[in-house]
């Protein structure tokens, strides 16, 4: 397994032998920005200007250290960097920058990062304006009473319209943007003003160094050299190396092995005082032993009331993951266990499918999260996996009055026992240039959306829709990007469960149901979905020596049907002395290819069919 670069060895002697900075000289902040609006570039500039890393150490976008995060320009884990800044007033300040994920799936991580700060920089692309994701994160920051400094980035671009974007920030978010700082993170223009604003406009933390220790567990991860590393924000008291600490929620005690700060290299310090952000290690065995949002205190002198904490993150999207080669099952299990070590929001449990054999039912925070896990399994662990269609959690109310949660359409009870089904609904916020509005409204209506709001700010529209999550999980985001030519942005939050006229649709290939292709679908959509899936499968399943009927059915009723005609002639015309080698190589290739096929009765279904059959091109 390749290790994220963040887990670097201790290289230098402590930079802060006697830590505990005075409160008035500490500033803790996050940067809120939409993907590509320049958050990472600005972070790089700030780190460079304050000398956090030498040029040699300076890597582009140090905060986004995981390979995938770098590629997609997103951040998943909370990373921090502690910087020393000598301000215009002659004082030296400690700036703690806490990075936040920028994607809809990781809203939860955003909220906990923000809880460790007193302020935030709101970075908006001066040509693009406010996006849905920015909006969601800013509201979160406002909810936890952060001071927000608007920053207009990419001011050097010819398309920049700072005045229009300032007006938008005021109209849409309701923030005073008259003091917005105009910068170009790329060229470095205005970044010094940002540093001054952090010191002058953001409040210092509050806290009592003499009170019992009270610290927020912000995040934790597994480091191969240090073991479990816990990111903490000290609220009151002092965290020292060697101290006995207690985690109030987890009800566990540990002796602190090491206390340190990230510069962004892990650098040990003797102690962390109120307002400071740093890490601790304490021979904690597993990441699962640490609860994000927990309160850490002293064992001998515990604090009175714990911090409010966070609700644990709950997976909302589920899918099956199966090894392409059944022999890889154990490897897949190990790989998942390793990923889970650093990602408590990723859930998995064993699943058996008649079509796909042994695998796992996995839970994710969202589709991007799913995609990241899938890619990591393939890239870092070299596994070939089949992913089944994403599903949400349905509530199945049975006629006996009981309710069960359904994570997998294949587990749907017999319909005679079912009284009704409920499905999760979300509140979706979409921001788009108004020329794509028509297409987006149509998309939302097609997905059973209920419009709540439609407002304009300049030439941009903000749409709020209530939508069933099951209409969103599969390809809504792709479709939204496609109908808006990439300009629309999207964010959502879970609302509630609502009763829906939902049915389980099965796909039968050659008269046999293929469990991995079953979906729960709204009755009004069943026929068109069924027809689309049958047509797609007809393209995806190669012709066989016999004809293959493909049917979509609800209960015993067939609602759509296609037929793959039988091969009539399939034989090499000329095969002599030299052709046998070619023929053999072809058969050897077919043997390899067969590993990527799933045998279903007499029919071989290519693994790609399991995911492609559910994509809707229309």
Partner 1 sequence: MSNSKAQLGVYVHWPYCARICPYCDFNVYRTRDIDAGRWRAALIRDLEYWRARTGPRRLASLYFGGGTPSLASIEVVEGVIDACERLWGFENGPEITLEANPTDAARSRFQAFARAGVNRLSLGVQSFDDAALAFLGRDHDGAAARRAVEAALSSFPRASFDLIYALPDQTEDAWRAALRAALRTGVRHLSLYQLTIEPGTAFERAVARGRWRPPDDGLAAALYDIAQEETAAAGLAAYEISNHAAPGEESRHNLLYWRYQDYVGVGPGAHGRLRADGRRIAVEIRPHPEDYLAAVEREGCGAASVEALDAEAVLIERLSMGLRLAEGVILDAEDLAALGPRAARLDALAREGLVARDGARLAATAEGRRLLDALLARILA
Please give the structure tokens belonging to residue 299.
Answer: 């064992």
Among the listed residues 158, 224, 401, 577, the single contact to partner 1 using CB under 8 A: 577
Residue 574 touching partner 1 (CB under 8 A): yes
CA distance 411 to 518: 10
| DSSP assignment letter at 231 | E
CA distance 608 to 387: 9
Q: What share of the chain is helix, strand, coil (3-state, %, to 5)?
A: 30, 35, 40
Contact map string, positions 136 to 175, toward partner 1, x by CB under 8 A: ----------------------------------------
Among the listed residues 283, 555, 583, 601, the single contact to partner 1 using CB under 8 A: 583
How many C-beta atoms surround the C-beta of residue 7 within 10 A? 16
Nearest distance, CB of residue 580 and partner 1, angstroms: 5
Residue 601 touching partner 1 (CB under 8 A): no
Residue 327 touching partner 1 (CB under 8 A): no
Q: 559 and 530 in contact (C-beta within 8 Å)?
A: yes
Where do we find the tokens 């693009």? 128
Among the residue ranges 210-218, 278-286, 475-483, 576-584, the one whose residues contact partner 1 (CB under 8 A): 576-584
Among the listed residues 573, 596, 613, 615, the single contact to partner 1 using CB under 8 A: 573
Query: Which residue, 324 or 464, is less far from partner 1 as judged by CB?
Result: 324
Query: Which residue, 306 or 542, is less far from partner 1 as judged by CB?
Result: 542
CA distance 348 to 341: 12
Inter-axis angle of helices 132-143 and 107-114, to 10 degrees?
A: 40
Residue 576 touching partner 1 (CB under 8 A): yes
Among the residue ranges 92-100, 173-181, 403-411, 539-547, the one whose residues contact partner 1 (CB under 8 A): 539-547
Count the alpha carbons within 13 Å of 586 in the hemisphere toward its beta carbon: 8
Query: Which residue, 36 or 512, is less far from partner 1 as judged by CB?
Result: 512
Query: Which residue, 210 or 581, is less far from partner 1 as judged by CB?
Result: 581
Count the alpha carbons within 13 Å of 57 in the hemisphere toward its beta carbon: 15
Longest dimension (CA), the chain: 91
Inter-axis angle of helices 39-49 and 191-201, to 10 degrees?
A: 80
Nearest distance, CB of residue 538 and partner 1, angstroms: 16
Nearest distance, CB of residue 587 and partner 1, angstroms: 5
Residue 568 touching partner 1 (CB under 8 A): yes
Q: 254 and 282 in contact (C-beta within 8 Å)?
A: yes
569 is in an annotated binding site: no
Residue 587 touching partner 1 (CB under 8 A): yes
Nearest distance, CB of residue 617 and partner 1, angstroms: 24
Among the listed residues 590, 596, 603, 618, the single contact to partner 1 using CB under 8 A: 590
Among the listed residues 567, 600, 601, 607, the single contact to partner 1 using CB under 8 A: 567
Query: Which residue, 178 or 581, is less far from partner 1 as judged by CB?
Result: 581
Of 556, 552, 501, give the one whose Cα is nearest residue 529: 552
Residue 581 touching partner 1 (CB under 8 A): yes
CA distance 207 to 23: 8
| DSSP assignment letter at 189 | B
Among the residue ranges 164-172, 352-360, 479-487, 579-587, the one whose residues contact partner 1 (CB under 8 A): 579-587
155 is in an annotated binding site: yes
Nearest distance, CB of residue 579 and partner 1, angstroms: 8
Residue 401 touching partner 1 (CB under 8 A): no
Instruction: Name which of residues 184 to 213 contact partner 1 (CB under 8 A).
Output: none
CA distance 115 to 205: 12
CA distance 9 to 7: 7
Query: Which residue, 349 or 579, is less far from partner 1 as judged by CB?
Result: 579
408 is in an annotated binding site: no
Sheet harboring 119-125: ordered strands across? 80-86, 92-98, 26-33, 119-125, 147-153, 181-182
Among the residue ranges 58-66, 274-282, 482-490, 543-551, the one whose residues contact partner 1 (CB under 8 A): 543-551
Residue 382 touching partner 1 (CB under 8 A): no
Among the listed residues 382, 438, 555, 593, the single contact to partner 1 using CB under 8 A: 593
Angle at the Cα of 49 (from 44 to 55), degrees rounded to 5? 70
264 upstream amide cis, omega within 30 of 0:
yes
Among the listed residues 545, 556, 617, 618, the single contact to partner 1 using CB under 8 A: 545
- The secondary structure of 385-420 as a DSSP string is EEEPPPB-PEEEEETTS-EEEES-GGGPPPGGGEEE
User: Residue 89 burial (CB < 10 Å; 0-12/13-18/19+)?
Assistant: exposed
Query: Which residue, 478 or 579, is less far from partner 1 as judged by CB?
Result: 579
Nearest distance, CB of residue 328 and partner 1, angstroms: 19
User: Residue 3 burial (CB < 10 Å; 0-12/13-18/19+)?
Assistant: middle
Where do we find the tokens 């032993």? 289
CA distance 76 to 94: 24
Among the residue ranges 210-218, 366-374, 508-516, 589-597, the one whose residues contact partner 1 (CB under 8 A): 589-597
Among the residue ranges 306-314, 471-479, 547-555, 566-574, the one whose residues contact partner 1 (CB under 8 A): 566-574
Count the alpha carbons within 13 Å of 613 in the hemisphere toward its beta carbon: 30
Residue 547 touching partner 1 (CB under 8 A): no
Q: 65 and 4 in contact (C-beta within 8 Å)?
A: yes
145 is in an annotated binding site: no
Q: 396 and 421 in contact (C-beta within 8 Å)?
A: yes
186 is in an annotated binding site: no
Among the residue ranges 15-23, 185-193, 339-347, 569-577, the one whose residues contact partner 1 (CB under 8 A): 569-577
Nearest distance, CB of residue 547 and partner 1, angstroms: 12
Annotated binding residues, as ranges?
Answer: 36-41, 153-156
Per CB under 8 A, residues contacting partner 1 are 544-546, 567-578, 580-581, 583-584, 587-588, 590-591, 593-594
Binding residues for GTP: 36-41, 153-156
């Amino acid at each position: 397994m390749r290790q994220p670069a963040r887990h670097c060895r201790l290289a230098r002697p402590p930079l802060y032998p006697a830590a505990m900075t005075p409160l008035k000289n500490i500033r803790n902040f996050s940067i809120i920005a939409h993907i590509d609006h320049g958050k990472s570039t600005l972070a790089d500039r700030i780190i460079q200007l304050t000398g956090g890393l030498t040029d040699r150490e300076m890597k582009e976008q140090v905060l986004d250290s995981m390979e995938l995060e770098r590629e997609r320009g997103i951040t998943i884990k909370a990373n921090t960097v502690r910087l020393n800044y000598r301000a215009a007033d002659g004082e030296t300040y400690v700036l703690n920058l806490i990075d936040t994920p920028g994607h809809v799936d990781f809203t939860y991580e955003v909220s906990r990062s923000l809880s460790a700060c007193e302020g935030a920089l709101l970075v908006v692309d001066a040509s693009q304006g406010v996006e849905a994701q920015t909006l969601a994160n800013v509201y979160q920051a406002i909810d936890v009473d952060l001071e927000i400094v608007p920053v207009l980035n990419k001011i050097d671009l010819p398309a920049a319209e700072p005045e229009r974007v300032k007006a938008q920030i005021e109209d849409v978010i309701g923030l005073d943007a008259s003091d917005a700082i105009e910068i170009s993170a790329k060229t470095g223009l205005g970044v010094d003003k940002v540093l001054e604003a952090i010191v002058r406009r953001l409040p210092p933390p509050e806290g009592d160094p003499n009170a019992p220790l009270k610290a927020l567990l912000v995040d934790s991860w597994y480091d191969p050299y240090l073991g479990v590393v816990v990111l903490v924000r000290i609220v009151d008291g002092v965290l020292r190396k060697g101290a006995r600490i207690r985690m109030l929620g987890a009800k566990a005690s540990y002796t602190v092995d090491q206390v340190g700060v990230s510069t962004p290299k892990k650098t040990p310090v003797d102690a962390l005082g109120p307002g400071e952000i740093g890490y601790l290690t304490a021979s904690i065995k597993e990441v699962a032993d640490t609860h994000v949002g927990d309160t850490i205190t002293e064992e001998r002198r515990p604090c009175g009331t714990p911090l409010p904490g966070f609700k644990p993150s709950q997976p909302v999207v589920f899918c099956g993951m199966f090894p392409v080669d059944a022999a890889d099952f154990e490897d897949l299990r190990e790989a998942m266990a390793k990923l889970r070590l650093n990602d408590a929001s990723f859930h998995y449990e064993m699943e058996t499918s008649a079509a796909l054999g042994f695998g796992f039912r996995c839970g994710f925070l969202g589709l991007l999260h799913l995609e990241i896990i899938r890619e990591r399994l393939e890239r870092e662990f070299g596994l070939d996996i089949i992913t089944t269609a994403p599903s949400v959690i349905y509530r199945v109310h049975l006629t006996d009055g009981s309710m069960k949660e359904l994570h997998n359409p294949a587990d749907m009870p017999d319909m005679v026992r079912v009284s009704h089904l409920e499905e999760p609904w979300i509140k979706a916020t979409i921001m788009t240039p108004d020329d794509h509005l028509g297409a987006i409204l149509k998309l939302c209506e097609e997905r059973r959306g209920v419009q709540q709001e439609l407002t304009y700010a300049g030439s941009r529209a903000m749409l709020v829709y209530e939508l069933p999550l099951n209409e969103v999980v599969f390809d809504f985001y792709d479709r939204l990007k496609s109908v808006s030519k990439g300009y629309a942005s999207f964010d959502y939050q879970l609302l509630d469960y609502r009763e829906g006229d939902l049915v389980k649709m099965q796909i039968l290939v050659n008269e046999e149901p293929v469990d991995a292709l079953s979906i729960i679908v709204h009755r009004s959509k069943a026929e068109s979905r069924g027809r689309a899936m049958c047509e797609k499968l007809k393209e995806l399943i190669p012709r066989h020596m016999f004809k293959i009927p493909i049917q979509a059915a609800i209960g015993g009723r067939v609602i759509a049907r296609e037929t793959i005609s039988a091969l009539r002639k399939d034989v090499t015309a000329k095969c002599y002395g030299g052709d046998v080698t070619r023929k053999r190589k072809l058969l050897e290739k077919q043997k390899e290819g067969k590993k990527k096929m799933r045998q279903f009765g007499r029919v071989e279904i290519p693994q790609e069919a399991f995911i492609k059959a559910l994509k809707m091109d229309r």
